Amino acid sequence: FYDTFPSKKELGLVYLRRKEEESMADLKALMRDYPEPQQLFRAWVLAKKRQIKRGEFFGCPFLRFALQMPAGDAEFQKQLKSVTKMWEDLLCGYIGDAIALGHLPRETDAPALARKALAVYEGNVAMWRISGLTIYLDQMPEMFEAILKG
């Protein structure tokens, strides 16, 4: 175990990078398949529900990791901020494409909408994890729809 990773910290950083790659690949695949934001957000929720049924999803790995690490750890904070920026940039680009395709109004603030979408996702996944109640996952499409309408 520690022959491969010289420290628990290094193991943690590698874990974050791998989860980042997996998360980005999954979200990019959904974005390719669903050019309309309403469809994307529904598909995102359904994908998470399928992963839960298969025992493959236990909540956001980044949130779970962040809550277990000391708040002042600069390396972990840097990596977690990087993940957040990548998610925001990916969603922002997708939203920009949706605006260009006429799926969203021209006046849509892509960065703000991306942040709101992440907050809806993270908040509901966290509440599902805390409570065990799938109502938090079930309400996500409706909440995404609300932020899309402004």
Contacts (Cβ under 8 Å, ≥6 apart) of 131: none
Q: Distance (Å, rounded) from C-alpha 31 to C-alpha 23?
A: 12
pLDDT digits (tens, 9 = 90+) for 111-125: 999 999 999 999 999
* Structure token pair of residue 13: 């950083």
Closest listed residue to residue 57, CA positions, set 46, 66, 67, 68: 46
Q: Is residue 140 a contact partner of residue 72, using CB atoms and an 8 Å limit?
A: no
- pTM of this prediction? 0.87
Sign of CA dihedral 115, 92, 139, 26: negative
pLDDT digits (tens, 9 = 90+) for 76-93: 888 889 999 999 999 999
